[in-house]
Structure 1
Amino acid sequence: MNVRTSRLLSTAGAAVMMALCAQTPSALAQESTSRTAAPPSGTTVKGTVDPLALEALKSMGNYLNTLQNFELHATASAQTGLGDMDLQVHIGYESTYRVQRPNKFYVELKSDRTIRQYFYDGKTFTINVPRQNYHSTVAAPSTIAQMIRVADVDYGISLPLIDLFTWAEDPGLDGIETVIRVGFAKINGRETDHFAYRGPDLDWQLWIARGEVPVPLKIVITDRTDTLRPSYQAELTWNTSPQLTARDFAFTPDAQSTPIKIAKNTEEK
């Protein structure tokens, strides 16, 4: 995976976090309000803020912050440049997340090229590479938020959508310059409201499910700092009441897997 793709996939989680981390209690607007017409064409300029679109972010964040256990499957693709060439390519992957707050998660990332699995059980963190038959296990801190920081700072591991795990611990909507409602859409048969947002470097869109379970069902991110405008999109399938056990977060190596030592970053962030 090239640098552009890695950057976009890791940035996607940060962009989604901006949308969903607010904690101020608020209820999603009623059905009649949610059908307000989208702004006329040509009125989307820097500084435009639709209160309904902003309220939808807060309501979605508030709901997600109530989930102590959840399972998420994402089918995603990144459109990016190939090496230093002015050539756009699409790279697809799938990811599965199982989360049990405050101190357990499992993440699996699959692409045509590789599979990576990440196990965190509150005491240890394991990276497993099943196709190459090796794994690495290190001692871990006691919370998901701390583990995410250690993985990023100490080992340079930044997982797509990882901020799904920690929205409640980093409230705020800093950096959003434009917020609008685009309109109604159906994603895999479910009714959603489609919103678009602009920050300093990214354009991003969210399709938020209507009703009592306002989860994001689709995400599109575009990086404006790159002349090729690489983009990331994912459709999300949620299970908000999974039956998770300790086995879901425990790593058991098979007989062919070789333990290795993971290198630590030498630079401080």
Structure 2
Amino acid sequence: MPRSPVPLWRGLAGGALALLAACADPAPSAAPVTTPPAATLEEDVSAALRRMATTLTSAPAFTLTFNTLREAPAGAAQSILLSGAGAVVAARPDRLYAAVGSDMGSYSLWYDGRAFTALNTQQNVYAVTPLSGGIETALKAVEARLGVTLPILPLLADDPYAMLTPAGTTGRFIGRSIIRDVVVDHFALNGPSGHWEIWLEAAPSALPLRVSFVEPGPERLRTILDFTAWNLRPRLPAGTFAFTPPRDAARADFLPRGEAQTRSNTP
């Protein structure tokens, strides 16, 4: 707001004040109030994500390895970092194998278009459940049943671009940097499912080299996936997606979502 004129002589009569006011320059008008432009999904972000999606969905099969850091609650106002490493083998439309070892345990997963199998390699216990559909359908079913979020899911989806950019998503370019001697472009996305950051090769392939996901909610816990190797033309041995129970492995049932915690608290 413009500053109001201050009288220089408070003892002057009202007529003199009026004369001074009439001779004074008019007070400047207030600057117009402008509304900042609404956040959008910037065109260069959209274009890079589309290139990435085309690269991933055009590969009939691929393998990848990754390291992961995941925040977990550890008491009042504190979180800790849990680390891990894993590998994924995928063959579209409905074949998947994954192995993960972390501070939270070690397990392997198989999906062959007919059944989903999970093996706890430390406890030597496995579970099998009938399941059909593509890789995305299977992983969504796993998320729903186990009550977990899989940050890698968008990269394995039928349409990675659509899953990363649902209605209401905004995104911007952060900058260019280097990951393991590879030049990458860093993007940030905000959407209904949470906050994403993704580092894509600054090349036509736009392969993702790193992903950060912050879950919605008050705790805002972060998971980082650091992709150490991609192979878009793998030679997969026969039986890659077939599960053979290890010796002396025990079979268990998959527990419905929420039931695992209830049973674990039952004597």
| TM tier, smaller | 0.7 to 0.9
Distance 2:254 2:51 in 1: 40
Number of the residue aligned with 1:127: 118
Which amino acid in structure 2 is aligned with residue 94 of structure 1?
A
Whether 1:50 and 2:42 are equivalent positions in the alignment is: yes
Q: What is the SS of the residue equivalent to 2:159?
A: helix
Q: CA deviation at 1:184?
A: 1.2
Matches within 5 A, 1:215-226: 215-223=207-215, 225-226=217-218
Q: CA deviation at 1:108?
A: 1.4
Q: 1:245 aligns with which of 210, 226, 237?
A: 237
Q: What is the SS of the residue equivalent to 2:138?
A: helix
Q: 1:181 aligns with which of 173, 188, 193?
A: 173
Structure 2: unaligned runs, 5 residues or longer: 1-35, 260-267
Number of the residue aligned with 1:235: 226
Identity of aligned residues (%): 23
Distance 1:68 1:157, change over 3 A: farther
Distance 1:59 1:233, change over 3 A: same
Number of the residue aligned with 1:93: 84
Q: 1:111 aligns with which of 102, 111, 114?
A: 102
Whether 1:206 and 2:198 are equivalent positions in the alignment is: yes
Distance 1:54 1:150, change over 3 A: closer
Matches within 5 A, 1:137-148: 137-148=128-139
Q: What is the SS of the residue equivalent to 1:52?
A: helix
Q: What is the SS of the residue equivalent to 1:245?
A: coil
Distance 1:232 1:266 in 2: 22
Number of the residue aligned with 2:69: 77
Distance 1:262 1:241, change over 3 A: same
Q: Which moved more, 1:175-184 or 1:207-216?
A: 175-184
Kept after mapping to 2: 8 A contact 1:176/1:197: no
Cα RMSD of the aligned pairs, angstroms, is 2.7
Q: CA deviation at 1:63?
A: 1.9
Number of the residue aligned with 1:18: none
Structure 1: unaligned runs, 5 residues or longer: 1-43
Distance 1:58 1:110, change over 3 A: same
Distance 1:191 1:248, change over 3 A: same
Indicate the structure (1 or 2) with the bigger Cα radius of gyration: 2
Q: CA deviation at 1:138?
A: 2.5
Kept after mapping to 2: 8 A contact 1:130/1:257: no
Instruction: Give the TM-score of the pair, scaled to structure 2.
Output: 0.73
Q: What is the SS of the residue equivalent to 2:254?
A: coil
Distance 1:189 1:155 in 2: 38
Distance 1:200 1:264 in 2: 25
Distance 1:246 1:114 in 2: 28
Matches within 5 A, 1:31-50: 47-50=39-42
CA offsets 1:160-201 (integer angstroms, 9 cap, x no match): 412322232883622454321112111111111111222246
Q: What is the SS of the residue equivalent to 2:244?
A: coil
Kept after mapping to 2: 8 A contact 1:45/1:178: no
Counting matched residue pairs gives: 222
Which amino acid in structure 1 is aligned with residue 208 of structure 2?
P
Whether 1:194 and 2:186 are equivalent positions in the alignment is: yes
Instruction: Give the TM-score of the pair, scaled to structure 1.
Output: 0.73
Q: CA deviation at 1:245?
A: 3.0
CA offsets 1:91-134 (integer angstroms, 9 cap, x no match): 11112111011121011121124111111122222110111011
Number of the residue aligned with 1:4: none
Distance 2:173 2:185 in 1: 7
Q: CA deviation at 1:155?
A: 5.2
Structure with the bigger RCO (C-alpha within 8 Å, sep 6+) is: 1
Distance 1:91 1:162 in 2: 19
